[in-house]
């Protein structure tokens, strides 16, 4: 209801504006260095479905940055800020929805939390309507601790995290607790973020080879996440506990409450066109 009220308020404000808003959507990937995030991280199926909700479907950008770095690094938040600024200026965007996944939520939250850190941040913040954070790692994950300790998770999660890079180091639970308390906004006991940060929470992993839903997004990835889920809380998407995904901003919805067939979203499926997620994001635009 809160989200609906905000949407209605924005719609009324737009109707009263002297000129129509120019709406765009930006896709900000998670951990890792990307040069073709459209193909390698999101997939064209997902992005092309979501951008159908735009008044002008050409008003979108898929960010490609090195999010294997600390969130504040020039190759991470600096790169994201540069590409968002170019998109905003080049396309004349006045109303920007940011869709991000996993550690991308931390990078976007750094920008929202530290407007004086980079001269480009205030303009970006001013243009953002809200952020849709898909399975954000807002409170880190015990699996990052495991990777940094060099145990079996390093091999099991290499496809998702990379190996002992600074972004993985940053997502250790105690490290994210420090950043949330001192450098980032939007968590309990901290000031609110300047724009809405709405989390979509993945609660479980299905990996039965006899269940067609387990194949959405790649069966091999869901099987791996089913394994790593054994080291997480009962409510998790195979990479993040639900408590981490819900730690910043507000929860928009939990997967089972909105997905077709009440299906859960594994950490991999929450960046795929699985169970109607893409249509929900499309309608949100």
Closest CA to 108 of 41, 206, 198, 181: 198
pLDDT score at 221:
87
pLDDT of residue 16: 46
Query: pLDDT by residue for the chain (285 residues), tens digit each?
Result: 666 556 555 555 544 443 589 999 999 999 999 999 999 999 999 999 999 999 999 999 999 999 999 999 999 999 999 999 999 999 999 999 999 999 999 999 999 999 999 999 999 999 999 999 999 999 999 988 888 887 656 555 655 656 679 999 999 999 999 999 999 999 999 999 999 999 999 999 998 888 888 999 998 889 889 888 888 999 999 999 999 999 999 999 999 999 999 999 999 999 999 999 999 999 999
Q: How far apart are CA 250 and CA 143, in angstroms?
A: 24
Helix (H, G, I), strand (E, B) or coil at 128: strand
Q: ∠ at Cα 273 (87, 207), nearest 5°?
A: 135
Residue 215 tokens read as 């194949």
- pLDDT of res. 209: 86
At residue 17, the pLDDT reads 46
> Which residues have a Cβ under 8 Å from the Cβ of 224 and sit 6 or more positions away?
156, 157, 159, 160, 238
Which domains does the chain show, CATH number per domain? 22-284 (3.40.50.1820)
CA angle 263, 267, 269 (to 5 degrees): 55
Q: CA 274 to CA 200: how far, in whole Å?
A: 13
In terms of Cα–Cα distance, which of 248, 264, 224 is closest to 136?
248
Give SS3 for 141.
coil
Backbone angles phi, psi at 134, to 5 degrees: -90, 115
Read off the pTM: 0.92
The pLDDT assigned to 183 comes to: 98
Q: Are 6 and 39 in contact (CB under 8 A)?
A: no
Task: Extract the runs of DSSP E, i.e. beta strands, from 31-121.
Answer: 60-62, 95-101
Q: How far apart are CA 69 and CA 102, in angstroms?
A: 14
H-helix segments, 55-152: 77-91, 104-113, 121-127, 142-148
Residue with tokens 């790649």: 218
pLDDT averaged over every residue in the chain: 91
Query: What is the secondary structure of 184-247 as a DSSP string?
Result: --SSTTSPPPSSEEEEEE-------TT-GGGGTT-HHHHHHHHHHGGGS-SSB-SSSBHHHHTS
Q: What are the φ and ψ backbone dihedral angles of 211, each rounded to 5 degrees?
A: -110, 115
- Spatial strand order in the sheet of 128-134: 60-62, 23-28, 95-101, 128-134, 196-201, 250-254
């Amino acid at each position: 209801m809160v989200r609906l009220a905000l949407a209605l308020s924005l719609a009324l404000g737009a109707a009263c504006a002297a000129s129509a808003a120019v709406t765009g959507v930006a896709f900000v990937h998670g951990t890792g260095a990307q040069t073709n995030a459209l193909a390698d991280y999101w997939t064209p199926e997902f992005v092309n479905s979501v951008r159908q909700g735009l008044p002008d479907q050409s008003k979108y950008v898929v960010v490609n940055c090195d999010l294997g770095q600390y969130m504040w690094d020039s190759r991470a938040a600096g790169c994201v800020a540069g590409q968002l600024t170019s998109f905003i200026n080049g396309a004349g965007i006045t109303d920007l929805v940011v869709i991000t996944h996993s550690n991308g939520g931390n990078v976007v939250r750094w920008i929202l939390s530290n407007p004086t850190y980079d001269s480009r941040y205030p303009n970006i913040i001013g243009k953002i309507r809200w952020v849709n954070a898909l399975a954000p790692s807002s409170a880190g994950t015990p699996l990052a601790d495991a990777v940094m300790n060099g145990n079996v998770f390093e091999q099991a999660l290499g496809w998702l995290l990379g190996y002992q890079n600074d972004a993985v180091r940053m997502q250790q639970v105690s490290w994210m607790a420090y950043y949330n308390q001192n450098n980032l906004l939007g968590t309990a006991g901290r000031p609110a973020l300047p724009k809405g940060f709405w989390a979509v929470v993945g609660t479980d992993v299905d990996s039965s080879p006899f269940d067609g839903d387990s194949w959405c997004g790649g069966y091999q990835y869901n099987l791996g996440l089913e394994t790593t889920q054994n080291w997480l809380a009962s409510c998790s998407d195979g990479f993040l506990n639900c408590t981490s995904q819900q730690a910043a901003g507000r929860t928009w919805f939990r997967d089972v409450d909105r997905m077709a067939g009440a299906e859960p979203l594994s950490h991999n499926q929450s960046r795929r066109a699985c169970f109607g997620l893409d249509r929900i994001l499309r309608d949100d635009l």
